[in-house]
Structure 1
Amino acid sequence: MIPSEFDYVAPTTLDEAVSALSDAGEDAKVIAGGQSLMPVLRLRLNSPSTIIDLGRIEELRGVREDGDAIVVGAMTTHHDVMTDDLVGRHAALLAEATTTVADPQIRHRGTFGGSLAHADPAGDLGAVAVALDAELIVAGPNGRRTIDAADFFTDFFTTALEPDEILVAVRIPKHTDWTAHYEKFHRVAQSWSMVAVAATVAVDGGTIGKAAVALTNMGAVPVRARAVEEALVGQSADIDVIRAAAEHAAEGTDPMSDANADAEYRTHLAKVLTRRAVVTAAGV
């Protein structure tokens, strides 16, 4: 199939893009890398009147330091995120999780901001943003505002972005001395997560001093596994402690049943994958 007819706008600055989106109305769509939107358009699951292409806006690309955080531009490709020195040094969880996104071709075209704004519950990077306490910077006709990652995802494929707002960048607090692992369960290579776990810990002298764990595809939005974190912090980094903590992984989740797995199986996976993710992150 081919998309329905639409107007195409390719601004070169963020201000132009915000203005174009505001003028186009609520049925306009913003395209970043296009790896999620293009299949939707081809199947006519959405028929926007206007497509606003962010591909020519250089100010939305790149990674920079900002005091105790790093800032990743929304149009930074997955490939550039996973190979960036600042990301590898200060947000190892993001670097590792990004290597599991789809395949090399998509990682060279798809963007960090586009993935977050698409808000697919099976997408890999939402849980990472939540685990790292990221802040998402958005711009609209009334200026810029910041949304905590925990508040950004509101439902299936739905975010706190207003119809006339554009995701500009993601600010991630530095987790410089933390180790991390992203454990993903999927049926075939390069597919969406059936369930996945983003885990990052800070271990000092054999004790887990800090921990952050979030789950992919255990509900309509990424879920922070607070009970797991509480069971880990202050405890020895050994397998028995981690196994016991992982039993809390499904608390506060609402897994769906679909053609890939039922809710009970996803609950089982959450516990198993949490144990694996934390064990690997802690180097046990």
Structure 2
Amino acid sequence: MQTPAPFGYERATSVDHAIELLRQLGPEARLVAGGHSLLPMMKIRLAQPEHLIDINPLAGELGSISIAGDALVIGAMARHNDLLESALVGEHFPILQDAERVIADPIVRNRGTIGGSLCQADPAEDLSAALSALKATATIRSADGDRTVAVRDLHTGPYETVVGDAEILTEIQVPIRDGCGSAYEKVERRVGDWAIASAAAVVWMDGRTITDAGIGLAAVGADHFVSPGAEDALTGNEPTDDVIAAAAAAAASGCSPTTDQRGPAEYKRHLAGELTARAIRRAVARATGTNTEGN
């Protein structure tokens, strides 16, 4: 039977208390909420934190989903199922519900948190690609106050982020802009599995012209989960078949997949391009009101 190494346990009562506990306990302390990423790693001793700080009591402080000004604000303790069932999310950013429908299973979605997923920084993590495509920002709090970073800059490498040892991710802000359409596409070995490849597409349109675009990729070795080349191919153009094909080709050529148990690198590269094209078409349909899926 696999068991974690011994660890201490603390229960935070507020965000400030969690930060103080992180400061006191040092860099070998880890926050835990849903635990669906951290605890399996602890069982095989891939992760061996000396202390766990339970932040589930902070759900009231960090668990809301709301509109503030011109942004959708998602608390870091919001659960995956909260996003999936939120009318606000469905109205403004159906891409997030596309992604949530293919994340794990109901048990994980009921307990896992948005902040936990982002901070795990798994290279195949769905929401990192979707939120990067949406050009969202994240607020990180320390004893010195809040700082804001682009979600695209949150991840510095596999399982690594810019969140410091005594800091906590508190919320994500997704800008609400006119003419937006978004969609997420994923291929997996089985329902709810990590992606073999996935693509997120967001377009902002004025008439038939794409004035701005965000393309996110997961599981295919895209730097910071995005494809700048695909975004450049779309921006300033109408979404013709040729333009979409050029964006898909840029997404495929700009990523660096590896061969593993989920498939060969060239297959993943092909998927990156194909899924990008599919996501762009659905995003454009949603932006222009020609979508027939009902969301």
TM-score by length of 1: 0.94
Instruction: Report deviation, 1:273.
Output: 1.0
Q: Gapped runs of 5+ residues in structure 2?
A: 291-295
1:91 corresponding residue in structure 2: 93
Does 1:104 pair with 2:110? no
Instruction: Report deviation, 1:208.
Output: 3.1
Q: Aligned partners of 1:155 and 1:73: how far apart in 2?
A: 23
Q: 1:204-215 to 2 correspondence within 5 Å?
A: 204-215=206-217
Letter in 2 for 1:84: S
Moved more, 261-270 or 160-169: 261-270
Q: Which structure is higher in helix share?
A: 2
**Quick one: which of 268, 275, 283 aligns to 2:277?**
275
Does 1:142 pair with 2:139? no
Deviations 1:132-187 (A, max 9, x none): 11111111222221111111100110001111111111111114542221110111
Q: Aligned partners of 2:184 and 2:29: how far apart in 1?
A: 34
Deviations 1:10-61 (A, max 9, x none): 1121111111111111111110211111111222222211100110012111
Instruction: Report deviation, 1:229.
Output: 2.1
Q: Aligned partners of 1:63 and 1:152: how far apart in 2?
A: 20
Q: Aligned partners of 1:137 and 1:265: how far apart in 2?
A: 36
2:63 corresponding residue in structure 1: 61
Q: Aligned partners of 1:245 and 1:105: how far apart in 2?
A: 36
Does 1:51 pair with 2:48? no
Deviations 1:214-271 (A, max 9, x none): 1112217543222222222333333343123311113432222222223222211111
> Aligned Cα RMSD in Å?
1.8
Moved more, 227-236 or 106-115: 227-236
Q: Aligned partners of 2:271 and 2:224: how far apart in 1?
A: 15
Contact kept in structure 2, 1:156 and 1:220, CA below 8 Å? no
Moved more, 55-64 or 242-251: 242-251
Q: Secondary structure at the match of 1:56?
A: helix
Q: Aligned partners of 2:166 and 2:258: how far apart in 1?
A: 31
2:130 corresponding residue in structure 1: 128
1:25 corresponding residue in structure 2: 26
1:155 corresponding residue in structure 2: 157
Contact kept in structure 2, 1:212 and 1:229, CA below 8 Å? yes
Letter in 2 for 1:42: K
Q: Aligned partners of 2:155 and 2:122: how far apart in 1?
A: 9
Contact kept in structure 2, 1:214 and 1:225, CA below 8 Å? yes
Instruction: Report deviation, 1:4.
Output: 2.0
Q: Aligned partners of 1:176 and 1:115: how far apart in 2?
A: 28
Q: Secondary structure at the match of 1:249?
A: helix
Q: Aligned partners of 2:145 and 2:236: how far apart in 1?
A: 42
Q: Secondary structure at the match of 1:213?
A: strand
Contact kept in structure 1, 2:142 and 2:167, CA below 8 Å? yes
State how many pairs are aligned: 284
Letter in 1 for 2:51: T
Q: 1:89 to 1:250 in 2, by over 3 A?
A: same
Q: Secondary structure at the match of 1:121?
A: coil
Letter in 1 for 2:200: A
Q: 1:172-191 to 2 correspondence within 5 Å?
A: 172-175=174-177, 177-191=179-193
